[in-house]
A and B are shown apart, each in its own frame.
Chain A
Amino acid sequence: MTNCPDEERCLHLLEVILDDESTPEAEQEYFEHIDQCWPCYQNYNLEKAIRKLIKSKIENKPVPDGLIKSIKREIEKITIE
């Protein structure tokens, strides 16, 4: 397995691309690069999997019953004052 000559830069680029904050040019450059760079291709898959993991496995807590109601009540108090 060969190393990537510029792995650190590629990783930064990958992050920005997955965050959807990149440019089409940078994206093209990156995807052309990972076609021929095994470590970067692996990093790409891993990073994507981690993002997916975070989104799918971290559960949301349900909002407690009556929270909006109690906020509305408090707001009403301010309005009356």
Chain B
Amino acid sequence: MNQMSETKRKRYSEAEKTKVFDIEFYPHIDSMYNFAYRLTFDEDDAKDLVQDTYLKAFRFIESFQKGTNAKAWLFRILKNSFINDFRKKSKEPSKVDYQEVESYYNSGDVDKTITTDLRVDSLKDMMGDEVTNALNTLDVDFRTVIILCDLEGFKYDEMARILDIPIGTVRSRLHRARNLLRENLRVYAKTMGYVKKS
């Protein structure tokens, strides 16, 4: 074992590749498809993105270490594919990049939590569509951290690796994303008459 070179030790046989795909990769297809859909808002695009991700996973399988977090690895590929191959040609109007968004939101009050008049009982009757819209109208970078953390249950360090950003940035981006989401939910609550119009 020790004499084997690094590359040789890592090499997967065809049978092992199939096994890794069946046991570690394909079980995440549901999460992957929904992540892709929430990024693109288009079923065909989401399908393409997922397929693309799995093909890349196959091509670059040597860089996947068995026993590590396959889901995080796949999500990272998907997110990179979305940014590199997809965002460019997507119908979504081009977004400012991370840095700009970050500094924009750093500058203002958005960082401060909006302590709203939103109340717990106002959330009870909220419809799935409304909650979904509240999430979907967030800028893609903010939407992404909410999906990763609140829907997919990734830890901060996993998110940092998926998004290629420091943990501190994960935390601040999440905080801002949640503030913005709260604000969106508040708008729905308001139209339902749950919060007093001020």
Which residue numbers of A lie inside 8 Å of B, CB to CB? 7-8, 11-12, 15-16, 19-21, 39, 43, 45-46, 49-51, 53-55, 57-61, 63-64, 67-68, 70-71, 74-75, 78-79
Taking a contact as CB atoms under 8 Å apart, the answer to whether B29 and A67 are in contact is: yes
Q: Mark B112-128, 1 if CB is under 8 A from A, else 0.
A: 11010011100100111
Interface bin, chain B: 35 or more
Chain A residue nearest to B130 (CB atoms) is: A57
> Counting CB contacts under 8 A, is B195 at the interface?
no
Q: Which residues of B contact A15 (CB under 8 A)?
A: 174-175, 178
Pairwise interchain contact B131-A67, C-beta atoms closer than 8 A: no
Query: Are B156 and A63 touching (Cβ within 8 A)?
Result: no
Asked, given contacts A46-B118, A46-B119, A46-B120, whether A54 binds B135 with beta carbons under 8 Å apart, the answer is yes
Do B37 and A57 touch (CB < 8 A)? no
Main SS at interface, chain B: helix
| Interface class of chain A by DSSP | helix
Inter-subunit contact B51/A54 (CB<8 Å) = no
Cβ-neighbour of A54 out of B21, B47, B150 (below 8 A) = B150
Is the Cβ of B175 less than 8 Å from the Cβ of A12? yes
Asked if residues A43 and B55 are in contact (CB atoms below 8 Å), the reply is no
Do B112 and A19 touch (CB < 8 A)?
no
Whether the Cβ atoms of A43 and B115 lie closer than 8 Å is yes
Q: How far is the CA of A58 from the CA of B151 in the complex (A)?
A: 9
Which residues on the B side are within 8 Å of A55 (C-beta)? 150-151
User: Does B43 lie within 8 Å of A64, measured CB to CB?
Assistant: yes
- Could you tell me the distance in whole angstroms from the C-beta of A81 to the nearest C-beta in chain B? 11
Asked if residues B156 and A19 are in contact (CB atoms below 8 Å), the reply is yes
A68 touching B151, Cβ below 8 Å:
no
- Bound Cα distance A3, B51 (Å): 52
